[in-house]
Amino acid sequence: MFRIGRKHASHVYPQSKGAPPTPSAALARNYAFGPAQDTALASTGTQVPWQLIEAGGSGTDIPITPTTSGRIRVSAMLTVVNNAEGWVELSVQAMLDGTPFATPLTTPQIAPAARKTTIPFLIEFNVPIGVTSQIELLLTPAIDDAISLLEDESSIEVQELTTTAG
């Protein structure tokens, strides 16, 4: 117990005001990288096939079960190569339980000549606390099979954020 004020003050606090607050629960997170091999992207859309998911296994779905706030941040770095002779547009979209978000939608132009391009992607949204949600990324090039996602050069992190009182 810490006394605040005079030596014989009657009001005491259970912890020092300088001590950080104790978190009520650990924040949820998950991580994945991949794919296991170069993956040609279809113009109808291709979900990223992650080689290794931290929570276990592989596949297109990154599971997360929020414990505290339900506010989720998805950040990814995707490395692709353009196999076509000209510039190709590629859209990158986050999906929640198989349903794509309308925005934000990243749509960079990928340069020709088989040069590697790294695309950063970031989105935040809310999901129910205590319910496991599946996060996916959907990549859609303007031209079928013109762009490939490169082997072992992409990653995604899905993490729950704290909320500020206020």
Q: Which value, to the nearest 10 degrees, does the dihedral of the CA atoms of residues 58, 53, 145, 91 take? A: 140
Size of the chain in residues: 166
Residue 112: predicted pLDDT: 87
CATH number 3.30.70.260 is the correct assignment for the domain at 25-161: no
Query: CA angle 124-129-133, nearest 5°?
Result: 65
- Predicted confidence at residue 15, as pLDDT, reads 53
For residue 113, the model assigns a pLDDT of 76
Q: What pLDDT is stored for residue 108 in this prediction? A: 86
User: According to the model, what pLDDT value does residue 13 have?
Assistant: 52
- pLDDT on residue 163: 75
Domains of the chain, residue spans: 25-161
How far is the C-alpha of 45 from the C-alpha of 43, rounded, in Å?
Answer: 5
What is the Cα–Cα distance from 53 to 60, expressed in whole angstroms? Answer: 9
Which residues, given as ranges, of the chain have pLDDT below 50? 21-22, 24, 165-166
